[in-house]
Structure 1
Amino acid sequence: MTMLSARIERLPFSGFHRRLLMMGGLGYTFDAMDAAVIAFVLPVLRTDWGLSSVQIGVLASANFIGFFFGALAAGACGDLIGRRKVMMSALAIYCVASLFSGMVNDWTLFLALRIVAGFGAGAESAIIAPYLSEFVARRYRGTFTGALAGFFSFGFVAAALLGYFIVPAHPQGWRIVIFITALPVVLLLWWRRALPESPRWLESQGRQAEADTIMDAMEADHMQGGRALPALNAQDVAAPPPSMSQGKLLKNYATLVSGKLIRISSMTWLMWLSITFSYYSFFTWIPSLLIQNGMTITKSFGYSLVMYIAQIPGYFSAAWLNERIGRQATIVSYMLLGGLCALGLAFTHSDAQIMAAGVLLSFFMNGTYAGVYAYTPEVFPTQVRATGSGLASAIGRIGGITAPILVGFIYPTAGFAGVFGMTTAVLLLGAAAVTFMGIPTRGRSLEDIAASELS
């Protein structure tokens, strides 16, 4: 571990970290609102624009097509030009495209703008966790990053509230909710100007003086009011420093599929693919599926709202467990329990059974994400952390792209049983990958993980 890393590890959780949590978390909130509100917009567009089930499925996948390319670009650029520049650019792209998507009247133009908005949202989502986790000490990194991901739940609940109260109440309600999801991002873009670049990334690029300046500011922030810093542990600084060689795009991707990293990379791809496929096969279609199952649009939105609210305890319970039982155990447990709930949902008959199974499935699938967002950045070394996280997130978005389209084809012939039976099988695959291919990260510094597991 380098001196800079040891300085990060000794920092107690402070106001600086709370600001990081709030700024990163609000970004995830708006990303989630933008993605989730489409589920409430689609039933209206289906009627207003006379769209087929396949067209609805393609529209539902538009964000995730953008997510795929955004996550790839963010990961690659985050390691080459810095985490902060990527995050700020992604947020601006998302804001502009999302606003314009609420102004159009043609489904093909709407599709194109949702892809661009998804590009910005996907880039931001892919960079926030690896970026902000590099500021955090090992003893609370899992809880911090899991709680950061927990802000997704607030965005989904807010989208469900907007869908429930505004979409059915006004002929142009769907446009109003899109504007509401995009406009507050302008304030967040302004606020984030104060965020520094990751000192760990700066150090990996040989920019030691800049990294030390940021660390000085972090330590000064903590010492305001007379608080003292713990003494540095000399033993922590004894390990060799990380490589100072600056990477290139193809070299970074080659690193991810070489040596021990190929197993880790493959594990993250399967983990992300399984949870993202399962998640969006459920949440993108649930309002429409409930309507097609005989509910009114208002009742289906009410049921969806309750299921979305279940995300909040799901995320934050898993964030707490990240440091108690470890990321691997949290992810596997929540995936397995989510699979059982999906299996139960496949055989429900009454509205009450649908509600109970849907709430539990929402709880466990979102809890899985709290583990996934904490775990993914930890298993890659600093030089390729953003590239590895971005590629895993991008591969996960393939699940987000294909899941709504597959549900559009499967539901008319196989019903609830077919859709949620498929979800169960995919979750079991992800749990197996994390169990047998993952590595332990709880209570370990990022440098220790890289040195002992990946070198």
Structure 2
Amino acid sequence: MSIADRLERLSFSGFHYRLLFLGGAGYCFDGLDGAILAFVMPALQHLWGLSMAQLGLLGSGAFFGYFIGALSAGLVADRWGRRSVMMWALACYCVGSLVSALCMNWHGFVLARVVAGLGTGAESAIIAPYLSEFVPRRYRGVFTGALAGFFSFGFVGASLLGYALVPGSANGWRWAVGLTACPVVMLLWWRRALPESPRWLESMGRSKAAHSVLCGIEKSVGVVSPAYEPGAVTLERPSVGGQFARLWGSGLRRVTAMSWVLWLSVTFSYYAFFSWLPTLLIARGFTITHSFGFSIAICVAQIPGYFSAGFCNEYFGRKATVVTYLAAAMLSAVAMALVSSSGGILAAGMLLSFFMNGAFAGLYAYTPEIFPTVLRATGMGSASAVGRTGAIAAPLLIGALYPRAGFAGVFGLTALILLAGALSILIFGPSTVNRSLEEIGDAY
């Protein structure tokens, strides 16, 4: 019996719930790190007298690191393993976040945010492909959607920290940023016991190690392990350049291009909205307290968005879920551009948050599935890295666009970019419904 068949026969158990919690906690801290900056930016602008352009650069700092972290993590994880990359990524994030809380000028803060971004970029790119390799096809869509749903808890946590700490004192922003890193130390401790992916071990010719890991999993869920049968070793480890070349080979070129366009459009829109949300509301005339209160409500709307999409992933398919949620997010962005009342802005913002984050739940489930095991982390990491160029550009572009085009211009642009993402997956995205990872990979 093959490693894949043994993984596919497992029922959903405590082992999978533990994976969901430990991976989800990582995404929670990634979301916390990405969102907290939106709530400290008004305080930093006042403290250091920053222009809108400088504020945009400050907002983009973490995403420069995120780009490098996501890109390198995928390459390293496909060559040397998923688990160690995930552990080092958490440590890097923790150090960068703590240092940024102690910075005395905005230049040092940007550099510290780049270091933190290295960790969050690597972590975010690795968790989904790593954990999806443990989960049978009949649970994979809802599992990965729920995994991505932990991002929403990070955003809600950031909004609560921002609301409670930032307006209260001159150093409130330091406490808010520093507290995002502290629980990561405990998460590093918990993750020591996570096994390496048996699918990856087998793809590297380490079938005996894969068998040993899988025997431990089967024992924990009460399944009898078959005897070890060594298979033929067909190890092929291409160079770094070779890994990228394979992504753009004749079999994978179409899905690689589609995934890059999709991630770029969704990530740009996401961070154009959330990185600037409190600042844009203040510029629209809201007080800082009122702005943060609206931001909490909008962030809370992420939670049902993620988990409803996780359900839809399994029952309607990842492709259909992403297209539907992106189309609904586009309409919500149009509404955000057109409404003028505070109630209308709140309602449109909550809908945009609900559907945009639901699209991310589909995206995190879909992207690791469309690449074969030997390139899964590279494919996910490169798509995530390209997407982060959108996150880098969004704070800078919005900072330059808002004085000229205003609130309506910002969200009109967001709607157009979301439309581009929806069309890319609708036209070029393959279906992954009820197919094992091996079936999808063999199609290339």
TM-score tier, shorter chain, comes to over 0.9
Distance in 1, Cα, partners of 2:85 & 2:285: 45
Work out whether residues 38 and 276 of structure 2, in 8 Å CA contact, stay in contact via their aligned partners in 1: yes
Work out whether residues 164 and 302 of structure 1, in 8 Å CA contact, stay in contact via their aligned partners in 2: yes
Give 1:163 deviation, angstroms. Answer: 0.5
- Listed as ranges, the gaps of 5+ residues in structure 2 are none
Residue in structure 2 matched with residue 411 of structure 1 by the alignment: 402
2:180 match: secondary structure: helix
Work out whether residues 318 and 370 of structure 1, in 8 Å CA contact, stay in contact via their aligned partners in 2: yes
Identity percentage over the alignment? 56
Residue in structure 1 matched with residue 248 of structure 2 by the alignment: 257
Residue in structure 1 matched with residue 371 of structure 2 by the alignment: 380
Work out whether residues 11 and 230 of structure 1, in 8 Å CA contact, stay in contact via their aligned partners in 2: no
Residue in structure 2 matched with residue 436 of structure 1 by the alignment: 427
1:152-189 per-residue CA deviation (whole Å, 9 max, x = no partner) reads: 00000000000011111122110001111001000001
Q: Determine if the alignment matches structure 1 residue 12 to structure 2 residue 11.
A: yes
Work out whether residues 338 and 365 of structure 1, in 8 Å CA contact, stay in contact via their aligned partners in 2: yes
Superposition TM-score, scaled by structure 1 size: 0.95
1:313-349 per-residue CA deviation (whole Å, 9 max, x = no partner) reads: 0000000000111000000000000000000100111
Q: Determine if the alignment matches structure 1 residue 326 to structure 2 residue 322.
A: no
2:340 match: secondary structure: coil
Distance 1:229 1:314, change over 3 A: farther
Work out whether residues 219 and 225 of structure 2, in 8 Å CA contact, stay in contact via their aligned partners in 1: no
Which one-letter code corresponds to 2:7 in the other structure?
A: I
For residues 52-131 of structure 1, the aligned pairs below 5 Å read 52-131=51-130
1:324-380 per-residue CA deviation (whole Å, 9 max, x = no partner) reads: 110000000000000000001001111000000000000000000000000000000
Distance in 1, Cα, partners of 2:337 & 2:99: 38
Residue in structure 2 matched with residue 308 of structure 1 by the alignment: 299
Give 1:243 deviation, angstroms. Answer: 5.3
1:89-144 per-residue CA deviation (whole Å, 9 max, x = no partner) reads: 11111101110110011100110000110011100000000001000100000110
Distance 1:269 1:241, change over 3 A: farther
Work out whether residues 204 and 246 of structure 1, in 8 Å CA contact, stay in contact via their aligned partners in 2: no
Residue in structure 1 matched with residue 170 of structure 2 by the alignment: 171
1:8-67 per-residue CA deviation (whole Å, 9 max, x = no partner) reads: 000001111101000000000011101100000000010011111001001111111111
Give 1:244 deviation, angstroms. Answer: 3.2
Give 1:215 deviation, angstroms. Answer: 0.4
Distance in 2, Cα, partners of 1:241 & 1:261: 25
Distance in 2, Cα, partners of 1:229 & 1:171: 60
Residue in structure 1 matched with residue 412 of structure 2 by the alignment: 421
2:433 match: secondary structure: coil
Residue in structure 1 matched with residue 132 of structure 2 by the alignment: 133
Residue in structure 1 matched with residue 179 of structure 2 by the alignment: 180
Work out whether residues 149 and 369 of structure 1, in 8 Å CA contact, stay in contact via their aligned partners in 2: yes
Work out whether residues 327 and 441 of structure 1, in 8 Å CA contact, stay in contact via their aligned partners in 2: yes
Distance in 2, Cα, partners of 1:323 & 1:248: 36
Distance in 1, Cα, partners of 2:398 & 2:154: 24
1:393-436 per-residue CA deviation (whole Å, 9 max, x = no partner) reads: 00000000001111101111111111011001000100111011
Distance in 1, Cα, partners of 2:148 & 2:106: 31
Residue in structure 2 matched with residue 234 of structure 1 by the alignment: none
Which one-letter code corresponds to 1:310 in the other structure?
A: A
Distance in 2, Cα, partners of 1:43 & 1:278: 21
Distance in 2, Cα, partners of 1:420 & 1:65: 24
For residues 353-368 of structure 1, the aligned pairs below 5 Å read 353-368=344-359
Distance 1:376 1:242, change over 3 A: farther
